[in-house]
Every structure is written in structure tokens, then in C-alpha cells.
Structure 1
Amino acid sequence: MQEFDIAIIGAGIGGASLAAMLAGGVPGRRILLAERESFPGYHTTGRSAALYSVLYGNSTVCTLTAASRAFFMDPPPGFADHPLLTPRGVLYITDDPQSDAVREIRESAIRTGATALEMSPRAALDMVPILHPGPLRGALWEADAMDMDVHAIHQGFLRRAKAGGVELRTDAALTGAGWDGSAWTLSFADGPVRAKKLVNAAGAWADELARMAGVPTVGLMPLRRTAMMLDPPPGFDIHRWPAVIDAGGSFYFKPDAGMILASPADETPSPPCDAQADEMDIAICVDRVQASADLPVRRVSRSWAGLRSFVADRSPVVGAPASHPSFFWFAAQGGYGIQMAPALARVGASLLDHGVLPADIADAGVSVADLSPDRCKGE
């Protein structure tokens, strides 16, 4: 039976980035990265809207996103052969400039040192001429928001992990996990392995993995989000347009490969599954976008859905519960896993190896308690 020091279950952006940060850290350490699908990133990672914004998420998420920027802008040698981030910008639009949602965006900007420039409706229309002036009462402009090359980021972490000696297995669904007091015995179709520590990076399946292992769950809530590709409006050059996000969270759209990527920003509870777009959510998206912009929709060229998994406070869950120190959570990354991946992976690696947060993350105001699974109420 093969023996590993750490077994990471799930090779999406969470598991891949953590494996990359752990790789080569301890001489001779053996790490297994096991993925149930035929290729990593099949589920949530491969269905991302691919937008980097330090104003998107709660205070913990925004802090971790801001702390990831330096890695994205200057990745390690060989990580990728082209830039991971490219300029896009985000225009947050609102029909109520004094709303709580707008206030939270302003507060996120102050907390992270980002710029959320107040813009008049006229200035917003100059940037995105198809916006309807009627419901547009104000806007905030995040100039430093970027498009992310999600595939390059994910593959860069996987390459870095494998170069550091991590063993990646695909088509490796975990079917059993038992702790005997010294190691985990993990059951796979091709035979069992043993590991001293088990890392739960199983995305929407993270609570299911915890139940399998006999560990208390964290109350994970997988929420379906729908996205679609629409034809651009005739007569406009959309390539320089920013992403447009309703500050209240009811929709967003942005240019993507010559098309318009749009979403109703839906959050429909779902069991862990291979999520598919729902016709009603597609219709809702079209209705919401057209209520705010003159975007004729003759057809939906492609649609899809992914699961964004949260716990109650919408912060990630990273760390071992006091009751099971050999079981390490790396889950509940919501829709923010890619944009905060470098910093969150450093957090996970530091907690696994040293039991403390990286100094810069702690100094930025994130605590172990903010991330601990013991804060969560599951089963």
C-alpha cells in the first residue's frame, strides 16, 4: 500500500494551488493530489467568469484577493508563457447610490487600498453606451479590475505541483476514508493508500467527504450560478468595454472573446452535481440585462452553470477542526477561489506546516478564527 504524508482530494483551483505551494517545501515529503474527474477543473474552476476584482466578496475574501495580485502580476518563472491578468475594469452601476450594496463596495475599496471612483451616469454611459439612462443613478469605477486567464492559472499551479514531486491522479474518486489513530486509509478504485493528513479540497462535495471520513460538516451550501454567451450589440466595438456589474448583485455582463458573457448572478441551492443551466435562469438573465442595457438578444449561443459553495459567513474554510487535527479543510471558496488562490494557498500551506498564518495575511487583518472550520455549524 502506497503511503503519503498528505493526500489532497480535489484538483480544482483549490487543491491545485495548495499542492503547488506545498510542493518541495519539506524534503522527501510525499503528496497525493486526487481528482475524481478525468481532468482537473471540470466543475467550478472551468466555469468561472474569469474576473479579478478586489471589491468582489466579503472583507476576508477581498483581503485575500488583494494579497494575490503580486503573484498574478509576477508569477514564478515557468508558471505561464503570457500574462495571467489583462486590463478590463469594472463598472458597478446602481439605481440607488446610497444603498447598502454601494456602501459595502466603497468600504471594500478603503480596506484593500483599491480605487472605487465615483462616476456620474453620463460618464458611465460614455464608457458603455448601451446602458439605459433611466435606471442609472450612479456608478463606481474599479479601474484595476482584470480579466484572468483561468486555464493558464490552473495549469500553472498543476505544473508547479508536479514539478515539486506531487503525484496527480485523475479518475480517482474517493470511496472510503478511515482514521486508525496514526494515518488515514483512503479507498480508490485502483486500491487503497495511506496518508498522515487528509486535505478536503473537494469543492461542492466537501461536506460529503467529511461525512465519509466521520468528521463534522461545516454546513456547506452549493449554489448554482448560470452564465451564457450572447451576440454583441450591432454597431459597437465592445472590446474596450469594462465588465458591468449591478451593485445590488442582480446581474453582470462583460466582453469575452468578441461576445458578451452575461449572468443573472443567481444563487440557486443545489446538491453537489454536474450543474447545468436552467431555461428559467437564462430568461431571467436576459430580462435583467435588457432592463438596464440596450442589448438585443436574438439567440443564446452557449449557456452553462457552475456551483459556488459557501458557508454561512461566506468566508473560506481553511484549517483542521480541534476534534480531528489530521483532517484539513480547504473549501467553501464560493465564486472567489481563483482570484484569491495564491494567497489562500499560502495560508493553507502555512497552517498545515506551521499552524500559523503568513505574516502579511495576518497583518492585513485575517485571523485563524476567521477561516477555522470550528466557527461553522454543520452536522
Structure 2
Amino acid sequence: MPQIFDVAVIGGGIAGASFAYRVAGQRSLILLERENQVGYHSTGRSAAEFSTQFQSPWVSTLAESSYNFLTNPPAGFTDIELLIPRGSLVIAQRERAHLIESAFSHILSTSPESYMLHPDDALAMVPFLKADYVEAAFYDPMNWDIEVDSLLQGYLRLARRAGAQVQLASPVTSIHREGGVYHLRTPAGEVLCRKVVNAAGAWADDFAALAGLDRLRIVPYRRTAITVDGPKGVDLSTLPAVNEVSEAFYFKPESGRIMVSPADATPSEACDAQPEELDIAYAAHFLSESTTLSINHIAHKWAGLRTFAPDKRQVVGFSTQDENFFWLAGQGGSGILTSPALSAWAAGLFLEGVPPDELCKAGLQPDVFSPARLSGVKA
């Protein structure tokens, strides 16, 4: 008789992997990933930044609650540091200089060591910024690069150690429930389980529809990035990330080059996202406009999908239509930096029916991410 798992997790990105880490060992669990490798889509194309800048209140709370895990992960999780100090320089040109003060005041609530900078000091920090571009600036030291692959693999390593199975190249092509058991058809064969966790990222609504449930209007949005060579003689590893105050663009060191994104957010179908030429041009334009860099060659270009519910809050909890179907979706661009706390929230709801008390005490309402809030939502 084939094995019947307690739970099948759909999706091997950061959401599915972190959930598997929390639940494996307490339930028999299989993780089904549609691609030939985990983290292929959104997780593998993240800006890999840990920061509470420009975040919603609930994301800031989740990020702050994730910090201790990321700086002191469990034994056997990883052999390297997951957070690498980076710092963030927020800049504004003359037309937007008035926005700096309010942005700085907001940042102080979560990063009290931030401080205002004279434009000359900003140029000393990033010497290839244009002097006539930077009218106002501040610096936030509470910004880190995330070692994303090590984080993802750490979740999966401990999940497997606790008994989880991970099955690649296994998109679910059909699903039906019979006798209290889900039958999930994949190219690798049928998988049987009692509960399903929808951590399918950009495909979350599609998977729900495949299961006969209503879509929750969780929409993927494309974001583009390119890398270019930095200036000769500048140690890029010591530079901060640079964010334009109105979030028009950002750039940061990455693998010995400069990565820049136009911070685009274009609605997309669930797909293997590819960069559009216009967005590539915008990225190059913003970098040329704000720095003295000559962009003669684009070393690499890519796009990823960030999924959002209509109200931009994550979707975590059991479906109102099927008590055995659990949503873990709509993490937007914050899935990686919030994964320790959000996976603990999801596991609490899944296993005990209530989220962790410490996260509620941190200010999150028990129903803040409930799928019930999206019932009947129109596009």
C-alpha cells in the first residue's frame, strides 16, 4: 500500500522549505518542487537584503523577530554567517529632497542608530555618486546581505534530517480528495496526503484553482535587475547598498559587480520570468543618472516574480473552503528575510491552530494573515 503522508508541501522555495523545517518530525511530510532544483524562481532571484527599510509594519515585525534566528541559527543549520553587514545609504536628488526627513523619521523607529548625512559625506561613502545628484541623504547601519542559498539549504537539511522527503521535477498536474486523502498526480507518480500546504509562490492561485478552490487574487509582479562592472580602484565589498528615497531604484555590490534594479513591479502570469528590454534600460538609466559609472557592458540580467495579495499582506492559514488546505503564499519581496518568523507563525497555525504567542505579543494580530479576509475579494 502506498504511503499516505500527513502533509504535502507544494513548492520548494523559501516558504515551503522553512515550513518543512518547522513541521517535519512532528508530521510525516513530503515537499514537491516543480523544477529540477529548489529555489529556482523567486528565492533564487532575490535581492538578498535584510532590512526593515521601506517595509510594512507587519513585515518589520516579522523581520525583527527573525533576526535572532538568522544571526544564531540552530546547530547543524549552516557553517557560514547568514547575515553579512552591508549598511544602506538613502539618497535623494533636489526634486525629492523633501522626502528625506519623513523617511528618516520612519527609519529611526526600527533603526535608531541611523543618522543624517551631508551630501559630501554620502559621496565619500560611495565615491562614484554624482555630486550634482545627491541633495540629501541618510545612512542606516541595520542592513545586511543574506546568504540565501545557505538559508534555503539549511532549512531543507534539517527538514530531511527530521524525516521530510523532497521530490524534485514534480509539478502537480491534478488533485482530488477521496476518503479523506488527497491524490496528487505528478510526472513522478501519485502522492497521497491528508493535508496540503500551498507554498507555490507565483503559482499559488493556480494550484488552488486546480484543487477546486477560489483564487484569492494573489498576483505575481515582475522585478528586474542587472549587474555591471564597478569603477576601478574601488573596493566594492565595503560599500553600502544605495536606495533612492522614493524607491525608484536601488543598487548594491554583488559578486564583485554592481547590481541595480529599477524597482519595477509589473503584473505577470506565473512563469519563468525574463527581463524586458525597457526595464533593463531603466535600470541602466537610473545608474547613469545617479553615478559617474560608464555602462559599456551588462554582465548579467534577470527578472524574478514577487507575489502579493490585494492588500499586500501575506496569506497564511487554512482555507475557508477546505479545512485541510493550508495557504502559505503572497510573501511579496519579504519572504526570505521574514522566513524564520513567518514559518513559525505558519507552523503554529497548522499544528496547534494558533500562532506563536511571542509573535502576537510583538504586535501581530492572530488573524492578520488569514485567508478568510480575502473571501469575495475582486481584482
Unaligned runs of 5+ in 2: none
**Any residues of structure 2 matched to 1:176-195 within 5 Å, and which?**
176-180=174-178, 182-195=180-193
Separation (CA, whole Å) in 1 of partners of 2:206 and 2:302 = 24
Shift of 1:219: 0.7
Q: Which ranges of 4 or more aligned residues in structure 1 deviate by more than 6 Å?
A: none
Separation (CA, whole Å) in 2 of partners of 1:252 and 1:113 = 19
1:122 to 111, 120, 134: 120
* Deviation digits for residues 71-115 of structure 1 (CA, Å, limit 9, x no counterpart): 01001111111111111011111233443x8635633541x4554
Q: RMSD between aligned alpha carbons?
A: 1.7
**Any residues of structure 2 matched to 1:56-135 within 5 Å, and which?**
56-95=54-93, 96-99=96-99, 103=102, 106-107=105-106, 109-110=108-109, 112=110, 115-135=113-133
2:356 to 341, 353, 358: 358
**Partner of 1:7: helix, strand, or coil?**
strand
Higher deviation after alignment, 203-212 or 41-50: 41-50
Separation (CA, whole Å) in 1 of partners of 2:101 and 2:259 = 23
CA, structure 1 residues 160+109, in 2 after alignment: closer, same or farther (shift >3 Å)?
farther
Separation (CA, whole Å) in 2 of partners of 1:244 and 1:259 = 14
Contact 2:7 2:195 (8 Å CA) reproduced: yes
Structure 2 match to 1:13: 14
Q: What amino acid is the match of 1:21?
A: R
Higher deviation after alignment, 180-189 or 215-224: 180-189
Aligned: 1:293 with 2:291: yes
Separation (CA, whole Å) in 1 of partners of 2:111 and 2:139 = 14
Q: How many residues align?
A: 374
**Partner of 1:65: helix, strand, or coil?**
helix
Structure 1 match to 2:346: 348
**Partner of 1:232: helix, strand, or coil?**
coil
**Any residues of structure 2 matched to 1:145-184 within 5 Å, and which?**
145-180=143-178, 182-184=180-182
CA, structure 1 residues 41+64, in 2 after alignment: closer, same or farther (shift >3 Å)?
same
Contact 2:103 2:245 (8 Å CA) reproduced: no
Separation (CA, whole Å) in 2 of partners of 1:258 and 1:132 = 21
* Deviation digits for residues 199-254 of structure 1 (CA, Å, limit 9, x no counterpart): 00000000000100111221111111111110002342222110001121111111
- TM-score normalised by length of structure 1: 0.94
Shift of 1:37: 0.5
CA, structure 1 residues 109+7, in 2 after alignment: closer, same or farther (shift >3 Å)?
farther
Shift of 1:269: 1.2
CA, structure 1 residues 102+173, in 2 after alignment: closer, same or farther (shift >3 Å)?
farther
**Any residues of structure 2 matched to 1:127-276 within 5 Å, and which?**
127-180=125-178, 182-276=180-274
CA, structure 1 residues 68+56, in 2 after alignment: closer, same or farther (shift >3 Å)?
farther
Separation (CA, whole Å) in 1 of partners of 2:57 and 2:143 = 17
Identity score, percent: 40
2:316 to 315, 318, 340: 318
**Partner of 2:248: helix, strand, or coil?**
coil
Structure 2 match to 1:305: 303
1:47 to 42, 45, 48: 45
Separation (CA, whole Å) in 2 of partners of 1:317 and 1:257 = 33
* Deviation digits for residues 179-215 of structure 1 (CA, Å, limit 9, x no counterpart): 3462322112233222221100000000000100111
CA, structure 1 residues 378+216, in 2 after alignment: closer, same or farther (shift >3 Å)?
farther
CA, structure 1 residues 140+363, in 2 after alignment: closer, same or farther (shift >3 Å)?
farther
Contact 1:54 1:114 (8 Å CA) reproduced: no
* Deviation digits for residues 112-166 of structure 1 (CA, Å, limit 9, x no counterpart): 4554322222221221122223232322321021111111111111101100101
* Deviation digits for residues 280-328 of structure 1 (CA, Å, limit 9, x no counterpart): 1111111112111112111001111111111122221111132322111
Unaligned runs of 5+ in 1: none
Q: What amino acid is the match of 1:308?
A: R
Q: What amino acid is the match of 1:126?
A: A
- TM-score normalised by length of structure 2: 0.94
Separation (CA, whole Å) in 2 of partners of 1:179 and 1:107 = 48
Separation (CA, whole Å) in 1 of partners of 2:117 and 2:359 = 32
Higher deviation after alignment, 37-46 or 367-376: 367-376
Contact 1:62 1:108 (8 Å CA) reproduced: no
Contact 2:111 2:142 (8 Å CA) reproduced: no
**Partner of 1:209: helix, strand, or coil?**
helix
Contact 1:216 1:378 (8 Å CA) reproduced: no
Higher deviation after alignment, 252-261 or 180-189: 180-189
Separation (CA, whole Å) in 2 of partners of 1:36 and 1:336 = 22
Q: What amino acid is the match of 2:52?
A: V
**Partner of 2:203: helix, strand, or coil?**
helix
